[in-house]
Amino acid sequence: PAERATMKSRAAELLKARGAMLVAHYYVDGDLQDLALETGGIVADSLEMARFGRDHAAQTLVVAGVRFMGESAKILSPEKTVLMPDLEATCSLDLGCPPDQFTAFCDAHPDRTVVVYANTSAAVKARADWMVTSSCALAIVEHLKAQGQKILWAPDRHLGRYIQEQTGADMLLWNGACIVHDEFKGLELDLLRQQHPGALVLVHPESPQAVVAQADVVGSTSQLLKAVVDGTAPAYIVATDNGILHRMRQLAPGKRLIEAPTAGNSATCKSCAHCPWMAMNALQGLVACLEAGAGTARGAYEIHVPEPVRSQALGCIDRMLDFVR
C-alpha cells in the first residue's frame, strides 16, 4: 500500500509535468480512477471519455481503458498525443469483429444502415454509418427505425437483441459477445434475488437475455451508477464488471452492493466478473508511459490511427456525438 501511494504521487507529478490528462473507465483499478479525479481528469463510460478527451485543452491524453477507447480519443483529436498504460489491452468484441469479415458482411447487405458499438476497431468504424455506445444505442436505433431504415448491427449480440426487443427495429446481428457480461447467469441470479427480496437488480445490456429479463434497471455503466446513487432501495445486485463497485461505493456509501453471479464467482472467485484487459491498466504502466517521454520509447504506449482510416472512422463517431448533444 505504501508503495502504491508513492507510485500514485509519482504518476500525479508526471501527469502535471507532461501537461497530460488521465481519462479512466469505471472498470479499471480503483487507484487509477481516484488519480484521474484527483488530477482533473475523469472517470466515465466510453461515451463520456470520448467527449472529455475531445473537449479538454490538454495536448496529451492518457487513456486508462481498452484499446478502442484510446483509438476513439485519437480519431477525435489527431493533433493530441494519446498514450495508454498497456497497448495490449483489447476487448473480446473488437477481437471478434475482424475488419475484413465485417466488410464482407456489410457488402452482402448494402440495403442496411451499418450501426456499430463503440467496442470496435478504427477499421470497423471506418465502414460504419453510425457508432453507438450502450448509453445512446436505444435512442439512435429508435431514430433510424422512425426513418424506415433497416439496420446491420455489430458486434455485441446481446446488446443488439435487447435493442431489437425494445425498438422492434429490423436488425441483422453480428455474433459477438463480451466475455465478462456473457458469463452472468440467469438461474443463479434468480436464486440470489430470492435471498435478497428488496434488492434492485441492475444489468448492463451486454448480458444474456435471461439476466436482462430480471433487471429493474438496464443501462450503461453511467446509468447503472446513477441508479445506485438515486435509488431508495437498501441493496443492489449489480450485473456488470465489478470494477464499477469502487465508484458506486464512493458515491453511495451505506448502500449494499451485491455482485451478480457468474459461472464461477461469489464465494469461490473474486475476480470472475472483471475484464482481464481492463485489469491490464496498472499504476506501473501509467508511470512508465509518462516517463517514456517523446521518441522511440513512447512508441510502446502511443496510439496511432493512420489516414484515411481515421477520417473515415470519424464520420460515425461525429454523427453519434451530434445526436446526443
Chain contacts with ligand SF4 (rule: CB under 6 A): 27, 66, 91-93, 119, 178-180, 206, 241, 275, 277-278
- Toward ligand SF4, which CB reaches closer, 15 or 174? 174
Is residue 120 a contact point for ligand CIZ (CB under 6 A)? no
C-alpha dihedral, 194 to 196 to 199 to 200, nearest 10°: -30
φ/ψ of residue 232, rounded to 5: -100, -5
- Toward ligand SF4, which CB reaches closer, 15 or 64? 64
Output the smallest distance, CB 262 to ligand SF4, in A: 12
Helix (H, G, I), strand (E, B) or coil at 134: coil
**Cis upstream peptide for 308 (omega within 30°):** yes
- Toward ligand CIZ, which CB reaches closer, 114 or 118? 118
- Toward ligand CIZ, which CB reaches closer, 21 or 66? 66
Output the smallest distance, CB 297 to ligand CIZ, in A: 29
- Toward ligand SF4, which CB reaches closer, 18 or 53? 53
Q: Which does 92 bind (CB under 5 to 8 A by kind): ligand SF4, ligand CIZ, none?
A: ligand SF4
Asked if 137 and 154 touch (Cβ cutoff 8 Å), the reply is no
**What are the beta bridge partners of residue 116?**
131, 154
Is residue 45 a contact point for ligand CIZ (CB under 6 A)? yes
List the interface residues with ligand CIZ, window 182-221 (CB under 6 A): 206, 220-221
Distance of CA 232 to the CA centre of its chain: 27
Output the smallest distance, CB 58 to ligand SF4, in A: 24
Asked if 62 and 286 touch (Cβ cutoff 8 Å), the reply is yes
Burial class of 216 by CB neighbour count within 10 A (0 to 12, 13 to 18, 19+): middle
Q: Which triple of cell numbers denotes residue 119?
A: 467496442
Give the binding site for ligand CIZ (CB under 6 A): 25, 45-46, 118-119, 133-134, 178, 206, 220-221
